[in-house]
Amino acid sequence: MRVEIPLYTERFGSVRIHDVQRILELDSGRRRDDEKEITTIHKIEKNEIEDVEDKLAIVVPVKEEKLKLLEGVLSGIPHDCVVIVVSNSQTNPINRFKMEVDTLARFHRFTRRKMLVIHQKDPGLALAFQENKYTGILDKKEKLVRDGKAEAMVVGILLAKMVGKEFVGFVDADNYIPGAVNEYVKNFAAGFCMAESSYVMVRNSWKYKPKIYNTGIYFKKWGRISEVTNRYLNLIISNYIGFETEIIKTANSGEHALTLKLAEILKYSSGFSVEPYELLYILEEFGGIKPTSYPEVIENGVEIFQIETRNPHFHEDKGEDHLKKMLLESLSVVYYSELCNQTIKTLILNELVSQDILKKDTFPPQLPAMPPLRSINIQNFNEKLKEAKTFTMFE
Ligand code: GDD
């Protein structure tokens, strides 16, 4: 793969946020001895990417998606990555979860690839969390894992750690184009190959998110949510560094990846606020504004890559209310961040009121955050899951 070097990097304490990097070639060919190096371009060899894929788990959160889409996503994930499907699909009256497990089983029969599948609401999973005193992920009434994509991601990270992986990435189950999924994972690997730190996050930035209208297809650049969330995250950074910046271009990037070392020390905010919150938490904890509980990270630094995909992003359109909920959750974590001053808070309230998402003189809901996963004893967690037969492993 050939990728631009980051042409600009914004520093925030020990956090380095690299500007969007464009891909010149998805496949840069065989390595040649007489090759001339181009200083502004990284050439990442196939074997380097494959080495990362060997150590990478891809978590696929799924809730009531079409099985054909799920199967397409599985087919796009490079073979050597472990796939971890975390489902919150219904089991009753129609057992859609069973259909998902059957889809994986069929896929495994022909591909023999390593995959793991678990249901988010499995009582054995909740018990394993309880025994490890990690109750921030549980619904207070049900005593099961709460609904939410972030909750599925947290379960996925733990399973990735359980199977001994070094990297973990997330790919939604409603992606229409398997070839695009394949690219997302290669981009994650490319980011890890370029990194200098071991605390790394790679976020995909969409080249286009096309919309289909009666008049034809329109290659839209920005999603409606990310454009707004980016703006407020950039305001927060600008306010601290004293220079206006537009460095954040992937505030809501669902397709992203982390080193396990970083993943296990982050806090995660519930539902769809998870992606902007990851960024905010990194800035809060490692931005040098307050003392951190992780001095080794300050020493090493955190690196954030934003890589622009070549493939356009086609996914299921879930409607206006879904988008409004997503924006409310995203701006809520910005609003309640300790980095957010009163002026930015007022701007956020006005934004939500003007978009008809919040009533005047009310406030966004404060979402639950899940503490770092490092506190969980992974051997014990693994044993509890096995005892309760919570997951199915295909290998
Ligand atoms: N396990 C689980 N549990 N999966 C869930 C849940 C849940 O409670 N809720 C949603 N999912 C799955 C969906 O099935 C899909 O695979 C993925 O999580 C994303 O959910 P969508 O509802 O399809 O979100 P979206 O496509 O509108 O938004 C995506 O893109 C945004 C950026 O544009 C998500 O990835 C967002 O997180 C992201 O910010």
- On average, the pLDDT of the chain sits at 94
**What residues does 213 pair with on adjacent strands?**
216
What pLDDT is recorded for position 215? 82
Residues 10-35: what's their mean pLDDT?
A: 93
Q: Note the pLDDT tens digit of each residue in 143-157.
A: 899 999 999 999 999
Strands 268-269 and 256-259: unpaired
Strands 56-62 and 82-87: parallel
- The first and second tokens of residue 157, run together, are 């990270």
Do the Cβ atoms of 179 and 162 come closer than 8 Å? no
What pLDDT is recorded for position 34? 84
Grade residue 15 by pLDDT with cuts at 50, 70 and 90: very high
Residues 49-59: what's their mean pLDDT?
A: 98
Residue nearest atom 30 in ligand 1 by C-alpha distance = 254
Between the CA of 305 and the centroid of ligand 1 the distance, in Å, is 21
- The first and second tokens of residue 151, run together, are 């909750």
Q: Note the pLDDT tens digit of each residue in 174-200.
A: 999 999 999 999 999 999 999 999 999
Strands 167-170 and 199-205: unpaired
Residues contacting ligand 1 via CB (< 6 Å):
61-63, 65, 86-88, 120, 147-149, 152, 172-174, 223, 225-226, 252, 254, 272, 275, 315-316, 318, 322
Q: Note the pLDDT tens digit of each residue in 340-393.
A: 999 999 999 999 999 999 999 999 999 999 999 999 999 999 999 999 999 999
What pLDDT is recorded for position 170? 98
What's the predicted TM-score (pTM) here? 0.96
Q: Is 331 helix (H, G, I), strand (E, B) or coil?
A: helix
* Cis ω for the linkage preceding 93 (within 30 of 0): yes
Do the Cβ atoms of 312 and 223 come closer than 8 Å? no
Contacts of 216 (CB under 8 A, 6+ apart): none
Between the CA of 149 and the centroid of ligand 1 the distance, in Å, is 6
Between the CA of 176 and the centroid of ligand 1 the distance, in Å, is 14
For 111, other C-beta atoms within 10 Å of its C-beta total 13
Q: Is 393 helix (H, G, I), strand (E, B) or coil?
A: strand
- Which helix (H) or strand (E) element contains residue 246? none
Q: Note the pLDDT tens digit of each residue in 55-72.
A: 999 999 999 999 999 999
- The first and second tokens of residue 240, run together, are 């601290």
